[in-house]
Amino acid sequence: MLATPAAPPLPSLVSARSLRSQRIGRAVRLWVPAGILIALLGICFVLPLIITLPSSTAGDILYNNEAPFSPGHLLGTNVQGVDIFSQLVSGGQVTFEISLSVTAIGIVIGGLLGVTAGYFGGWVDAVISRVLDILLAFPALVLALVIAEGLGPSELHLIWALAVFAIPAQGRVARGATLTLRGLSYMTAARLSGTRPWRIIARHVLPNIMPGIVTFSLLGIGIVVIIEGAIDFLGYGIQLPQASWGSMITQGQNIESVQPEYVLIPSIALLITVVALNMLGDALRERWGVQ
């Protein structure tokens, strides 16, 4: 996972100016997506605490179908008169809560399984790898829909259903990264000096596979955001009247030919979030030299 970054060109051959512009370019590629994500999180979680937004679940039918930028409604209102900006904020909260917890569960459980498999090898690896293969071959969509149908749709059920798909993905990455470390000399040195396996994992393996796991997780959060939206979109996720980006797209679908903005607004929110996550992942990968 960790590769040596390409050797920098000899200093004498590169002008100070192009070096500086490279440095600025790297900083921009890192901090612009990070800033967008921080702003989105701020809008979703902090803004409602500071100012009172209109209700995201109920609206005044007399003020329905208001255009964007109408007084009191930044992005207008939908057919039922519900404020679209409030819906976006509330849907964003749900999206971030679900995608962050799913990824956290994936990192902890999947990472633990993957590192264990990669470090110990042998039958431990064989058993864990097969279990991960099974989870990977089991379609996440089926699980999420069946859980929603059988146990009733809820945010918590959605989190566990999607975690079943995040765990094997993280496990694979952690196992692969651990395998590449296994033969390195500092690992052998640690083993020869009598360090216990768990201590080696905590002190030598985890810090070294972290860059790979973090960059992969950023991509993973983006994927979870899209899949979560898909499940809401099919009507098996977050239930009305609670808003979510996926269900906003579904509702907008009915009137899309007349007023495409009902579909476009949540789609753009989704797009910005995932683009920022992917760009941040790319920038960190470049900075840490992760393949």
Partner 1 sequence: MALVQQIQLQREAGARDRARRLTGSPTLRVAGRRLLAAIPVLIGVTFLTFSVMSLLPNDSAQAILGLNASPSAVAALNHTLGLDQPFWQRYWHWLVNVLHGNFGTTLQGASVNHELAIHVPITMELLLYALVVSVALSVIVAALAARRPNGIADRIIAAISMLGLSTAPYAFAFLLIIVLAVKLTWFPVLSGAVAGPGSFFKNLTLPACAIGFGLFSVYTRLLRADMVDQMQREDYIVTAKAKGVPPWRVLLRHALRNSLFTLITVIGLNLGGLVGAAAIIENIFSVQGIGNDLITGISNHDVPLIEGITLVFALVTVFGNLLADLAYAVLDPRIRYGSSNS
Whichever of 44 and 54 has its CB closer to partner 1, that residue is 44
How many Cβ atoms from other residues are within 10 Å of residue 71's Cβ?
7
Whichever of 54 and 84 has its CB closer to partner 1, that residue is 84
Whichever of 150 and 207 has its CB closer to partner 1, that residue is 150
Contact partners, residue 253, CB within 8 Å, separation at least 6: 263
Whole-number minimum distance, CB 83 to partner 1, in Å? 21
Q: How far apart are CA 96 and CA 46, in angstroms?
A: 13
Whole-number minimum distance, CB 50 to partner 1, in Å? 29
Whichever of 63 and 120 has its CB closer to partner 1, that residue is 120
How many Cβ atoms from other residues are within 10 Å of residue 59's Cβ?
23
Contact partners, residue 189, CB within 8 Å, separation at least 6: none
Alpha-carbon distance values, 40 to 20, 52, 59, 104, 288 (Å): 30, 17, 24, 19, 25
Whole-number minimum distance, CB 19 to partner 1, in Å? 15
Whole-number minimum distance, CB 259 to partner 1, in Å? 10
Whole-number minimum distance, CB 262 to partner 1, in Å? 10
Q: Which residues bind partner 1 (CB under 8 A)?
A: 6, 121, 126, 130-131, 133-143, 145-147, 149-151, 179, 222, 226, 229-230, 233-234, 246, 249, 253, 256-257, 260, 263-264, 266-267, 270-271, 274-275, 277-279
Whole-number minimum distance, CB 255 to partner 1, in Å? 11
Token pair belonging to 1:
């996972």
SS3 of residue 268 by DSSP? helix
Whichever of 85 and 262 has its CB closer to partner 1, that residue is 262
Give me the amino acid identity at 131.
Answer: V
Beta-bridged to residue 70, according to DSSP, are: 73
Q: Are 210 and 170 in contact (CB under 8 A)?
A: no
Whichever of 4 and 193 has its CB closer to partner 1, that residue is 4
